[in-house]
Amino acid sequence: MLDVRPARFRHWTVPAFGVWNLVVWLTRARNLASDDTLSSASRAAWFVPVVVFCAGGVLCLVAYWKGREAYAMPIKAFALGASLYWLVRAVVVLFGEHNAGFKVVHALLALLTIVVAGQLLRVQRRVEMVPQGAFL
Protein backbone atom coordinates (compact mmCIF):
# COMPACT_ATOMS: atom_id res chain seq x y z
CA MET A 1 0.00 0.00 0.00
CA LEU A 2 1.13 3.50 -0.80
CA ASP A 3 0.45 6.38 1.54
CA VAL A 4 0.59 9.64 -0.45
CA ARG A 5 0.07 12.00 2.48
CA PRO A 6 3.81 12.89 2.84
CA ALA A 7 3.72 13.96 -0.83
CA ARG A 8 1.68 16.99 0.18
CA PHE A 9 4.90 18.63 1.34
CA ARG A 10 6.85 17.80 -1.83
CA HIS A 11 4.69 20.01 -4.01
CA TRP A 12 6.33 23.19 -5.33
CA THR A 13 3.83 25.40 -3.52
CA VAL A 14 5.20 24.59 -0.06
CA PRO A 15 8.79 25.84 -0.54
CA ALA A 16 7.63 28.57 -2.95
CA PHE A 17 5.26 29.98 -0.33
CA GLY A 18 8.01 29.79 2.29
CA VAL A 19 10.64 31.51 0.13
CA TRP A 20 8.14 34.12 -1.09
CA ASN A 21 7.23 35.11 2.46
CA LEU A 22 10.87 35.25 3.54
CA VAL A 23 11.80 37.49 0.60
CA VAL A 24 8.84 39.83 1.11
CA TRP A 25 9.14 40.12 4.87
CA LEU A 26 12.94 40.31 5.10
CA THR A 27 12.71 43.17 2.60
CA ARG A 28 10.13 44.77 4.89
CA ALA A 29 12.49 44.30 7.86
CA ARG A 30 15.27 46.06 5.96
CA ASN A 31 12.92 48.92 5.09
CA LEU A 32 11.81 49.24 8.72
CA ALA A 33 15.36 49.23 10.02
CA SER A 34 16.33 52.07 7.70
CA ASP A 35 13.21 54.21 8.29
CA ASP A 36 14.27 57.10 10.52
CA THR A 37 10.75 58.55 10.70
CA LEU A 38 9.45 55.72 12.92
CA SER A 39 9.52 55.85 16.69
CA SER A 40 10.90 52.85 18.55
CA ALA A 41 7.40 51.77 19.59
CA SER A 42 5.92 51.92 16.09
CA ARG A 43 8.99 50.20 14.63
CA ALA A 44 8.57 47.40 17.19
CA ALA A 45 4.86 47.13 16.32
CA TRP A 46 5.62 46.91 12.59
CA PHE A 47 8.16 44.16 13.28
CA VAL A 48 5.44 41.86 14.69
CA PRO A 49 4.11 40.79 11.26
CA VAL A 50 7.70 40.54 10.00
CA VAL A 51 8.53 38.00 12.70
CA VAL A 52 5.26 36.08 12.25
CA PHE A 53 5.54 35.81 8.47
CA CYS A 54 9.25 34.96 8.51
CA ALA A 55 8.50 32.20 11.01
CA GLY A 56 5.75 30.94 8.69
CA GLY A 57 8.16 30.99 5.76
CA VAL A 58 10.67 28.94 7.72
CA LEU A 59 7.85 26.59 8.76
CA CYS A 60 7.02 25.92 5.09
CA LEU A 61 10.65 25.17 4.27
CA VAL A 62 10.97 22.82 7.26
CA ALA A 63 7.70 21.09 6.27
CA TYR A 64 9.06 20.59 2.74
CA TRP A 65 12.32 19.21 4.08
CA LYS A 66 10.93 16.99 6.85
CA GLY A 67 7.58 16.02 5.30
CA ARG A 68 5.87 15.12 8.57
CA GLU A 69 2.11 15.04 8.95
CA ALA A 70 2.35 17.30 12.01
CA TYR A 71 3.19 20.21 9.68
CA ALA A 72 -0.03 19.94 7.65
CA MET A 73 -2.30 21.99 9.89
CA PRO A 74 0.24 24.73 10.71
CA ILE A 75 1.09 25.40 7.06
CA LYS A 76 -2.60 25.48 6.14
CA ALA A 77 -3.27 27.91 8.99
CA PHE A 78 -0.33 30.02 7.86
CA ALA A 79 -1.59 30.10 4.26
CA LEU A 80 -5.07 31.13 5.40
CA GLY A 81 -3.69 33.73 7.80
CA ALA A 82 -1.41 35.21 5.13
CA SER A 83 -4.31 35.44 2.69
CA LEU A 84 -6.48 37.19 5.25
CA TYR A 85 -3.70 39.58 6.22
CA TRP A 86 -3.08 40.56 2.60
CA LEU A 87 -6.77 40.97 1.82
CA VAL A 88 -7.12 43.43 4.69
CA ARG A 89 -3.79 45.11 3.97
CA ALA A 90 -4.64 45.54 0.28
CA VAL A 91 -7.93 47.26 1.11
CA VAL A 92 -6.21 49.56 3.63
CA VAL A 93 -3.47 50.47 1.14
CA LEU A 94 -5.74 50.86 -1.89
CA PHE A 95 -8.15 53.18 -0.08
CA GLY A 96 -5.45 54.95 1.94
CA GLU A 97 -3.49 58.04 1.08
CA HIS A 98 -0.58 56.41 -0.73
CA ASN A 99 0.94 57.12 -4.13
CA ALA A 100 0.03 54.98 -7.14
CA GLY A 101 3.33 53.07 -7.18
CA PHE A 102 2.92 52.03 -3.55
CA LYS A 103 -0.62 50.86 -4.26
CA VAL A 104 0.41 48.84 -7.33
CA VAL A 105 3.32 47.15 -5.53
CA HIS A 106 1.18 46.20 -2.54
CA ALA A 107 -1.67 44.99 -4.73
CA LEU A 108 0.80 42.72 -6.56
CA LEU A 109 2.28 41.48 -3.27
CA ALA A 110 -1.23 40.69 -2.03
CA LEU A 111 -2.26 39.01 -5.28
CA LEU A 112 0.80 36.80 -5.53
CA THR A 113 0.62 35.81 -1.86
CA ILE A 114 -3.07 34.90 -2.15
CA VAL A 115 -2.58 32.95 -5.39
CA VAL A 116 0.31 30.86 -4.06
CA ALA A 117 -1.49 30.32 -0.73
CA GLY A 118 -4.58 29.19 -2.63
CA GLN A 119 -2.54 26.72 -4.66
CA LEU A 120 -0.91 25.41 -1.49
CA LEU A 121 -4.31 24.93 0.15
CA ARG A 122 -5.69 23.25 -2.98
CA VAL A 123 -2.85 20.71 -2.98
CA GLN A 124 -3.27 20.06 0.73
CA ARG A 125 -7.01 19.47 0.26
CA ARG A 126 -6.50 17.19 -2.73
CA VAL A 127 -4.05 15.00 -0.81
CA GLU A 128 -6.39 14.78 2.20
CA MET A 129 -9.10 13.36 -0.03
CA VAL A 130 -6.97 10.27 -0.80
CA PRO A 131 -7.73 7.56 1.79
CA GLN A 132 -4.79 6.44 3.92
CA GLY A 133 -3.29 3.30 2.45
CA ALA A 134 -4.89 3.76 -0.99
CA PHE A 135 -3.28 2.15 -4.00
CA LEU A 136 -2.14 4.66 -6.59
pLDDT in tens, 75-133: 999 999 999 999 999 999 999 999 999 999 999 999 999 999 999 999 888 766 655 55
* Mean predicted confidence (pLDDT) in 53-76: 92
Q: Residue range 51-78: average pLDDT?
A: 93
Burial class of residue 56 (count of CB atoms within 10 Å of its CB; 0-12, 13-18, 19+)? buried
* Cβ atoms < 10 Å from Cβ of 54: 19
Q: Which among 50, 54, 32 is positioned nearest to 42, based on CA atoms? A: 32
pLDDT at residue 24 greater than cutoff 80? yes
Q: For residue 124, what pLDDT is reported?
A: 86
Mean per-residue pLDDT, 8-30 = 93
Higher pLDDT, 125 or 19: 19
